Amino acid sequence: MTAILEVDELSSGYGPVPVLRDVTFEVPTGTVTAILGANGAGKTTLLRTLSGLLRPTTGRVRFDGEDLRGVPVERLVRRGLAHVPEGRGVVAELTVEENLRLGGLWRRDRADARRAQDEVYQLFDPLARRRRHAGHQLSGGERQMLALGRALIARPRLLLLDEPSLGLAPRVSGQIMTLLRQLCDGSGLTVLLVEQNVRSALGIADQGVVMSLGRVVMATPAAQLRDDEQLRHAYLGF
Partner 1 sequence: MTATRPSEVPTERPPAAPSALRRLLPGAPGSGTVGGSTLLRHLIVAVLAGTAVVLLTNQLPPYQNLQVARVGAFLCVTAGYTVLVGLNGQLSLGHGALMATGAYTVALVQQALADRAVQGRWILPLSLLLAAGVTAAVGLAIGLAAARLRGPYLAGVTLAVATLVPAITTIFTDVFNGEQGLRFPAETPPASLGAYFQPERWLAWVALLAALVTMVLMANLVRSRFGRSLRAVRDDEVAARLAGIPVARTQVLAFVVSAACAGLGGGVYAVLTGTVAPGKFALELSLFLLMAIVIGGLGSLAGAVWGAVLLVALQDLPSLLTETFTLPSGLARRLEGNLALAVFGLTLVVVMLAAPGGLQGAARDLLARLGARRRHPSR
Partner 2 sequence: MDRFLFLTLDGVSTGAVYAAFALALVLIWRAARLVNFAQGAMAVATAYVGYAVVSATGSYWLGLGAAVLAGLALGALVERVLMRFVGHANPLGDVIVALGLVLLIQAVLGMVFGNEYRPTAVPFDTDALTVGGIAAMSPYDLWVLGAVVVVVALLALLFTRTSLGLRMRASAFAPEVSRLLGVQVSRMLTVGWALAAAVGALAGMLVVPTGLGLHPHAMDLVFVIAFTAAVVGGLDSPAGAVVGGLLVGLILSYVTGYLGPDTTPLAVLVLLLAVLLVRPGGLFSGPRARHV
Please give the residue ranges that form the binding site for partner 2 (CB under 8 A): 51, 53, 73-78, 82-83, 85, 89, 91-94, 98, 101-103, 105-106, 150, 154
Picked from ligand ADP, partner 2, partner 1, none, the partner binding residue 31 (CB below 5 to 8 A depending on kind) is none
- To partner 1, the closest distance from the beta carbon of 24 in angstroms equals 14
The Cβ-side half-sphere exposure at 142, using a 13 Å CA radius, reads 21
Residues engaged in binding partner 1 (CB under 8 A): 11, 14-18, 21-22, 57-58
Burial of 1 (C-beta count, 10 Å sphere; 0-12/13-18/19+): exposed
- To partner 1, the closest distance from the beta carbon of 20 in angstroms equals 9
Picked from partner 1, partner 2, Mg ion, none, the partner binding residue 21 (CB below 5 to 8 A depending on kind) is partner 1
When binding is defined by CB under 6 A, the residue of 40, 87, 167, 221 that contacts ligand ADP is 40
Task: Say how far residue 133 (Cα) sits from the centre of its chain.
Answer: 25
Is residue 35 within 8 A of residue 202, CB to CB? The reply is: no
**Residue 44 vs 173, nearer CB to ligand ADP:** 44
- To Mg ion, the closest distance from the beta carbon of 46 in angstroms equals 9
Q: In what order do the strands lie in the sheet with 17-28?
A: 17-28, 3-14, 58-63, 66-67
Contact window for ligand ADP (CB under 6 A) among 32-40, 64-72, 164-172, 173-181:
32-40
**Residue 15 vs 65, nearer CB to partner 1:** 15
- To Mg ion, the closest distance from the beta carbon of 223 in angstroms equals 25
SS3 at position 69? coil
**Selection from 145, 207, 196 nearest residue 4 by Cα:** 207
59 vs 38: CA distance, rounded Å? 23
Picked from partner 2, ligand ADP, partner 1, none, the partner binding residue 44 (CB below 5 to 8 A depending on kind) is ligand ADP
Picked from ligand ADP, Mg ion, partner 1, none, the partner binding residue 37 (CB below 5 to 8 A depending on kind) is ligand ADP
Query: Residue 19, interface with ligand ADP (CB under 6 A)?
Result: yes
Alpha helices in the chain (DSSP H): 43-50, 73-79, 96-104, 110-123, 125-129, 140-152, 170-187, 198-204, 222-227, 229-236
